[in-house]
Amino acid sequence: MMMKRLLALAALVLVTVASQAQNKAEIKWYSFEEAVALNEEEPKMVLVDVYTDWCGWCKKMDKETFTDAAVVEYLNENFYAVKLDAENTKETFEFKGEEYTQATMAQSMQVRSYPNFVIINETMENITQLPGYRPADTFLKDLKTTLEQFK
């Protein structure tokens, strides 16, 4: 009898944990082209996360900062978030009449270190960069300061 209760309790805990993991809020990442199109319909700033596959600090941002509930909510509400692989030369897209790859776009944004967060305003002009790894509370504070400064 006790064993059945323990198994039932264990099953309940597993189901609860699994459902919470599925309901966990995530940042809505867009392609650069999607962010541009969405900005035309509903203007918002764009946050471009410029990363590389080998960047350990980029992975730490993904794992820790970009999973923080407050960061997720603030980014989704106030920005169109874009991931840009600074070494991807395969796919091309058009922006302001020019053709870019993710790598050439990162170069045109003058990104020299990773991770780097380029903030683009509603008129699609680069307004600032936030270079380097930032824990969730620092990243959130920096986003809010940037939004207040440039709105």
CATH number of the domain where residue 123 is located:
3.40.30.10
Q: What distances in angstroms separate CA 116 from CA 15, 22, 23, 46, 134, one per listed residue?
A: 38, 29, 28, 13, 10
Residue 106 lies in a domain: yes
Band (pLDDT 50/70/90 cuts) for residue 151 is confident
Is pTM beyond 0.95? Reply is: no
Does 56 map to a domain? yes
Mean pLDDT of 99-106: 96
The answer to the question of residue 80 being in a domain is: yes
Domain extent, residue 111, equals: 26-150
Structural domain contains residue 30: yes
Looking at per-residue confidence, does 19 or 79 come out higher?
Answer: 79
pLDDT at 101 over 90: yes
Four-residue CA torsion sign, 45, 51, 53, 55: negative
Residue 123 lies in a domain: yes
Q: Could you tell me how far CA 79 lies from the centroid of its own chain?
A: 9
Mean local confidence (pLDDT), 67-91? 96
Q: What is the mean pLDDT of residues 32-41?
A: 96
Q: Which pLDDT value is given to residue 6?
A: 47
- Residue for token pair 């509903």: 42
- Whether 15 maps to a domain, the answer reads no
Calculate the average pLDDT of the chain.
89
Instruction: Evaluate whether residue 16 is within a structural domain.
Output: no
Question: E strands, 25-146, where?
Answer: 29-30, 45-51, 79-85, 92-95, 98-101, 116-120, 126-131
Max CA-CA distance within the chain? 72
* Residue 91 pLDDT class (50, 70, 90 cuts): confident
Nearby residues of 30 by Cβ (< 8 Å), 6 or more positions away = 38, 80, 81, 82
Per the domain annotation, does 1 fall within a domain?
A: no
CB 114 within 8 A of CB 51: yes
Query: How many domains, in total, are found in the chain?
Result: 1
pLDDT band at 12 (very low <50, low <70, confident <90, very high): low
pLDDT band at 10 (very low <50, low <70, confident <90, very high): very low
- 18 Cβ contact list (under 8 Å, min separation 6): none
Residues above pLDDT 70, as percent of the chain:
85
Terminal-residue alpha carbon distance, the chain:
64
